[in-house]
Each structure stands twice: as C-alpha cells, then as structure tokens.
Amino acid sequence: MQFSELIENFKLLFMRSKSGILPAMVAIAALSIVVNSPSWVMNYFTLHALSNGDFQSFWAGGFGANCSRMFTLVAILLVGALRVGLARPMRRVMVDGPEAVNGVGDALKQSMEGYWMNLLAYFLVGIALAIGAILCILPMFVVAFFVAFVPYLVSSMNVEIVEAFKLSATYAKNQAPALIASMGIVILVMVVLGCCVGAGGNAIAVRLFGLMGTVAVTPLVSIIGELVGIVWWLFMGATFVTLETAETRTEIKR
C-alpha cells in the first residue's frame, strides 16, 4: 500500500476523533500525569536532602522514591491498558463512520471493554520488548516490529492473545514497508524529543539552578511527552487500522 494512504487515514481519524476519542486521550494523559506526581515529589525530597548533605534523609528518601517508582510503574501499566483500549473506538470510527463513537464518555466506555485482556496484552508486549532490550537494541526493534499489532488486535477485534501474536507477525511481514516507515517516524520523534527536551532541558536546568533544577524539568518533560503521545497514539492507531483493514479486506468508510 502507499504511505500517502496512511497519512490520509491519519487525517481522517484525527478529524473524527475531535468530539470523543481526542478528549478521552487528553483525560487519560492527565491521569497519567497525576499518577506520576508522587515520584516527582519523592525525587524533590531526595535531591533536597542530598544537596544539603543530609545523608540520613537521603537514604530514607531513596527508599520512599523507590516505593513511589514501583507505584508509578504499576499505575502506568494500568493507565496504558486504557490507552490500548482506545484502539476499539478508533477502528470503529474508521470502519463504521464517525457516528460509531458518541462523545468522550462513549469513547472511554468502549476503551474499557475487554480491559483485563488489553492489560495482559500490554504487559506481555512489554515483557517481550524488555527481553529484546536485554539482548541488545537491534533485537528490541525486531521484537517491536513483530509484536506491534498485538495490543491493537486484542483491543479492537477481540482476538485471543496467542492468535494475536501470530497475526501480528503475519501482518508485520505483509505490511513491512508501511509499518517500518511509521515506526521510524515515531522513533525519530522520540529521539529528538528525548535529546532536545529531556537531556537538553536537564543540562540547562543544572547549569542555571544546580541539581535541584532537574526536579522542575521532569514534570515539564512528562507533560510535553503526554501531549506528543496523543499525536503518537492517533498516528499509530491510524497505521494499525489502515494496515489491518488492508489485510482483512475491510473497507474504511469515507
């Protein structure tokens, strides 16, 4: 398929998401920021103690920071399953038309359908990517390529987990050029964002305000990341719908 068709479908999905899916994504992004906030607070106290030479409070704060990170990790997993669930209304507005999603409440309700299976798919894909990362960067990208469709298939089409992994590998091989192009764009944006906003922001903050400056940068980076992530989810949603419908010979409603 032509990459231009994917871009057109992304524009179509964006237009059809304005009244329901897009506000739902903003709400989920806000929830993600809230669940990340305890770790920011603990990091502040830990760094404050370290900058003042209070090592007793530093070690105590370090334990609290580790606990808050564990809480944040679990919360991110739970919130991530909600994001995965948005693949269902995304596919519906593309295949059935914009009337398939009636407002933000309906979009969130649809995203909750099959929540625990979405969570399991999200978790297993995360484990697969972690194993790939342990082996090396290149194996991680290979794993990401072949499992890319798994959460989408489980969420939007109620495919069983094992079958989703098989279909994902098949779809990835059959639609490799478009999928690689889409993933390449996403990775490029993530690298640029990480270098410019993350590393660059921390370097400037440390230079101007010392070590404590990083405390202010972390929430800012997270907020920018969530905003960019909304576009990322819509773009990849359009990618999955476009490539899956091409495989299943399903027509997208114009």
Share of the chain above pLDDT 70, in %: 78
Q: H helices within the chain, ranges in order? A: 3-17, 21-51, 55-85, 87-95, 103-111, 115-135, 137-147, 150-157, 161-174, 176-193, 200-209, 213-248
What's CA 130's distance to the chain center, in Å?
A: 15
pLDDT in tens, 155-173: 999 999 999 999 999 999 9
pLDDT value at residue 58:
47
Q: What is the mean pLDDT of residues 127-141?
A: 86
What's CA 164's distance to the chain center, in Å?
A: 19
Specify the pTM: 0.83
Give 241's pLDDT tier (boundaries 50, 70, 90). very high
pLDDT at 50 over 60: no
N-term to C-term CA, the chain: 17
Residue type, 143: V
pLDDT at 212 over 60: no
Q: Using the structure block, give the residue that is written with the tokens 């979405």.
A: 118
44-53, 131-140, 160-169, 206-215 — most confident range: 160-169
Q: Which of 12-16, 21-25, 116-120, 224-228 has the lowest mean pLDDT?
A: 224-228
How many CB atoms lie under 10 A from the CB of residue 69? Answer: 15
